[in-house]
Chain A
Amino acid sequence: MRTSHERGIAEVTITVESTIKFPYKRSLGPVIGPFMTALAEQRFIAIRSGSRVICPPLEWDPETAAELPRDFVDVGPAGTVCTWSWVSRPTEQHPLDRPFAFALIKLDGADTALTHVVDVESIDQMSTGMRVAPRWRAERLGHITDVEAFVPGEEAITVNGGVPGEPVTMMSYDASITYKIPVSDNTIKAHEATAQGRLVGLKCPVCERIYARDRGFCPIDTVELTDDHEVELPQRGVVTSYTIITPVQYPGQTETEPFSRVMVLIDEIDVVMMYQPLVDVPVEDVRIGMRVAVVWASEAEKADAGRPGNLVGWMPTGEPDNTDPSLANRIM
């Protein structure tokens, strides 16, 4: 089987860009919690580990893994750049919207370095050993970004503001990643077929199993599947199993009411389409043996860019149910 790598990047002409994001909540524990609390108060704290002073503080000795006594000590606010890296083209996820340096900064009184940002106008102003001090943010949440950036000099730039009434114990972490997926020839063909109202698959020449049109290979025989293996599938079948989902609410979830997902065994050939939606069937009417046929999107629905493909789901044909008890064995 040829891999996409062997085929070369040049053949990939279409990509789909996706962004996934989630607001995670991080519990900080008994050491990072106080460190974040101090940040909200425009202070840095470190923890003693034997003769060393560690900042940011750790819960366990990094060498012996012994639990450290909660012996906190104030450090900084100024410090020395130990080493640094220039970010000439910041992205949206970087802390500053202009070129800056990431630096390891050893705060005065600490024996270890903290990673943070140095805000200078050009790379020429950066040097190892330079002295920096924090520029605090006006609205502080008890987060590492309460320090907007470090700037050259000895004096911290403090901003008046109330300290939080409560110790900081939790941290929000809004994760987001954007990535591009190349669209394969088979995926394009799959979309073209559904746009034409055709249900098609790819048949493995070795085991004769039939796969979704966009699968591209038989994982059993490791055979590549191409246009030559396309087979037309009947657009009717029978429900072999199902579930009714009560949607769990999470960020990005738009379903609010219970919905069904059914396994459909296609007529005449040996293919099960899994977790298919039903159209206009009340959830209490869903049953094994129900005869169903494909529902394609209307022209109006096709215009709805959000719909992946044009197969909307399946609808009862009105034929009598299939009562074969062995249907329950066919869920894949």
Chain B
Amino acid sequence: MNERCAIVGVGQTHFKKRRDDVSIAGLLREAIDRALADAELTLRDIDAVVIGKAPDAFEGIVMPEIFLADAVGATNKPLLRVHTAGSVGGSTLVVGAHHVITGIHGTVLTVAWEKQSEGNAQWGLAGGRSGGIGAGGAFAPWMRAYIQQSGAPDYIGWMVAVKDRRNAAKNPYAHLKMPDITLEKVKESPMLWDPIRFHESCPSSDGACAAIVTNEEGAKRAPRPPAWIHGLSVRSELGQFPGRNPVRPQAGVECAHDVYRQAGITDPRSQIDMAELYVPFSWYEPMWLEGHDIAGPGEGWKMVDTGETDLGGAFPVNPSGGVLSTNAIGASGMVRFAEAAQQVRGLAGEHQVDGVRTALAQAYGGAAQYFAMGVLRNTPPE
């Protein structure tokens, strides 16, 4: 049984370095209440709830979904928790949508979050040991490999940083808003994990994102345009084995090909109007453009260089400002789907791309080993 499925409500918190004004439950409810208001639904209309977040060590609460159950409206309803590291926000939405697509539930609330100010992600990733290299240190040699292999000039990384921070200035929910950032400022920012500079790295944010997925009936009742799901896929692979190519992980290639096939896409670069890609460090924009076969080998950085991925370009990437501007890790994957949904719904506001009919959402996590991707359109699947 394959039900048509659409996103009819999205909600984000305002993302900040610290959200000391709310409890963790309050943070989730801020996003949930906005998604419900967008869909003009109440928690009574929700059949099941799916929660996602990254490692429990980030906040030091083991299995937080248990104490959050009543705040997220899951009393006497199915409640699932998803964990696939940084990609979790994306896979949480996919799990929720699968319950609709299979006809098990009519309307599912998905919510993903992180409150990084409660702990320290570097500490969490280091398992409490000294000498932790963090996600930046782990990914840096891979980005260097991409730069070496592709011959991309240094300034490509700076360009992505400038584009995303300027885009974020148009997004009311984004964490870092830097309308005046320049290539010079990025270039002169401190080197954190060579070759990644401070301004080429994501911040640590507190925040949550919610999305309501529903079947065709629910979509017809929706007060605002639905974002129809045309393809969803998750893939994973081992993070480390001899001969692995982490610059272009096979799981990422296969995940992309799977969603393209589901959505009938044969030439992603021309058939997709915009993409929200998980880019926590600037070099990941060209790496994913190539890693998901949107650009050919060594061509991804040229899409950046020519301005093709700018807000006004032919293939805008991360008009929301992306993970580079806002990273509440567990939420970030769902924000990609939520922002892609707002683009096809025509509700993205100041960072709306003109005439979006088909949008791509992507999240990755772990050692670039978990992928969650989706293709959304403003029209239902045939």
Contact = CB atoms under 8 A, between A and B. Distances in A.
A65 B127 CA distance: 35
A75 interface: no
Interface string A63-95: 111010000000000000000000000000000
A65 B111 CA distance: 15
Given A24-B59, A24-B60, A248-B134, A62 B141 contact: no
A210 B242 contact: yes
Contact of B130 (A25, A63, A241, A252): A252
B21 A242 contact: no
A10 interface: no
Interface in B211-244: 238, 240-244
B240 A274 contact: yes
Interface string B43-71: 10000000000000101100000000011
Interface residues of A, number: 61
B128 A62 contact: no
B336 to A, nearest CB: 25
A290 B326 CA distance: 37
Interface string B158-202: 000000000000000000000000000000001111110000000
A62 B60 contact: no
Contacts of A252: 123, 126, 128-130
A329 B149 contact: yes
B190 A254 contact: no
Interface string A273-305: 011000000010000100000000000000000
A32 B71 CA distance: 14
A209 interface: yes
A70 B134 CA distance: 41
A204 to B, nearest CB: 9
Nearest to A66: B43
Interface string B316-342: 000000000000000000000000000
Q: Give chain B's interface secondary structure class.
A: loop
Nearest to A33: B23
Interface stretch (A38-46, A117-125, A130-138, A167-175): A167-175
A175 B238 CA distance: 30
A157 interface: no
A245 interface: yes
Contacts of A22: 57, 60, 119-120, 123-124, 128
A253 B126 CA distance: 9
Given A27-B19, A209-B242, A210-B242, A329 B145 contact: yes
A261 B133 contact: yes
A222 to B, nearest CB: 12
B373 interface: no
Nearest to B196: A243
Contacts of A325: 148
A243 B25 contact: no
A173 B60 CA distance: 8
Interface string A14-34: 000000111011111111100
Contacts of B140: 243, 245
9 contacts: A27-B24, A27-B115, A27-B117, A63-B70, A243-B137, A253-B122, A255-B130, A274-B240, A275-B138
Interface of B: 18-26, 29, 43, 57, 59-60, 70-73, 75, 115, 117-120, 122-124, 126-134, 136-138, 140-142, 144-145, 148-149, 190-195, 238, 240-247
The 4 closest A-B pairs by CB, nearest first: A29-B23, A243-B140, A20-B128, A328-B148
Given A244-B193, A253-B130, A255-B130, 11 more contacts: A26-B118, A29-B26, A63-B70, A63-B75, A247-B132, A248-B132, A250-B126, A262-B141, A329-B145, A329-B149, A331-B141
